[in-house]
Structure 1
């Protein structure tokens, strides 16, 4: 039953991944946060942390599975930080891009639910193959398979993902996960490293 959705996803994402940008040599600030971004936390939090991540990146999964719960309790739930999640597909980029578009096609309030499922189940991809992985993500999306498929066939998903890739390229992102704490790049995803960048901004 899932085969039709994945065939459609494959066609849609062949185009998505064909023009993945190469890393820029000159870095700039990441694009400002807009209503199109996916955000955890209060809009008026004093610190903004922008995360560039890939759903097929093991270090990204490590952050989401082992660091994010404590980070969320310490900073997001207390209103100190808003976390902005942006996508930068890494190999296998076709799977990462497909997962990114599934998450972006989800009901708005379900984006991070889908992200959590993809990160949680990422380690099993080599064993199970992509179909159960995508099925679990779609199940968390708040939409039907047909709705997700229809969304993935529109240009909107490609445009949104292209913009995130372009923004990462211009900001000099060369790997995932990469964080920007109020515009300053942090490449260590440990709670200690992120705290060292965030805490001085809260004093």
Structure 2
């Protein structure tokens, strides 16, 4: 899908800070992810629900998903723009919907009409966006700048692949090949809670997928 933009570059805007979880949670977990990344979709659909139940909903973790578009870039950028357009109250709902319908979107992208109708339908159902609003957002430079700013922040943090996770500013790089398995992430979050001291060391039970 075409988006009114120049190629992704740097931006003076601030990276996205819309969060799930308590503002005063002892841990901030940031994911840099792409809505066209299949590994990100797996993490979002299969791993994150367990993390949300064990850590986010219990007040231990504040979670932030930041856009980091990957190929096909024009499609990825358009999807991220629409999620931001939905606003903070519907942002994560639309992120979830795009991940859950990722394969449908890819299939639509191979057709003569492209993915536009599928994207706008999902944006309407999960994000509350009218077609007119979606079209306007894809032309909104300020929203594109937010996507760029989040990507800039990821580059500065050393992101090289998606998804990439950061626990209180530190890259999460476990030795296991299964770096985003629930067991690895649970262990890392519990270790951070213990490091922070007695006030936060009441560790959640092991999260389950």
The answer on 1:102 being equivalent to 2:82 is yes
The answer on 1:123 being equivalent to 2:103 is yes
**C-alpha distance in structure 1 between counterparts of 2:131 and 2:159, whole Å:** 33
Preserved CA contact (<8 Å) 2:79 2:119 = no
The answer on 1:19 being equivalent to 2:3 is no
Any unmatched runs of 5+ in structure 2?
110-114, 174-178, 195-209
**C-alpha distance in structure 2 between counterparts of 1:195 and 1:91, whole Å:** 30
2:191 aligns to what?
A: 200
**C-alpha distance in structure 1 between counterparts of 2:49 and 2:107, whole Å:** 26
The answer on 1:190 being equivalent to 2:209 is no
The answer on 1:69 being equivalent to 2:55 is no
TM-score (ref. length: structure 2):
0.80
Q: CA deviation at 1:122?
A: 0.7
**C-alpha distance in structure 2 between counterparts of 1:198 and 1:169, whole Å:** 23
Any unmatched runs of 5+ in structure 1?
1-5, 22-32
2:66 aligns to what?
A: 86
Which of 154, 158, 169 is the matching residue for 2:144? 158
Larger mean CA deviation between 97-106 and 125-134 belongs to 125-134
Aligned length: 180
In structure 2, the residue corresponding to 1:55 is in which secondary structure?
coil
1:168 aligns to what?
A: 154
The answer on 1:149 being equivalent to 2:135 is yes
Q: Which runs of 4+ in 1 moved over 4 A?
A: none
Q: Which has the higher helix share?
A: 1
**C-alpha distance in structure 2 between counterparts of 1:48 and 1:64, whole Å:** 17
Larger radius of gyration: 2
**C-alpha distance in structure 1 between counterparts of 2:62 and 2:147, whole Å:** 21
Alignment deviations for residues 55-99 of structure 1 (CA, whole Å, 9 cap, x no partner):
000000001111111110000010000101101001111111100
Which of 18, 21, 34 is the matching residue for 1:41? 21
Q: CA deviation at 1:186?
A: 1.5
Larger mean CA deviation between 122-131 and 43-52 belongs to 122-131
**C-alpha distance in structure 2 between counterparts of 1:62 and 1:11, whole Å:** 26
What is the root-mean-square deviation in Å for CA atoms of aligned residues?
1.9
In structure 2, the residue corresponding to 1:108 is in which secondary structure?
coil
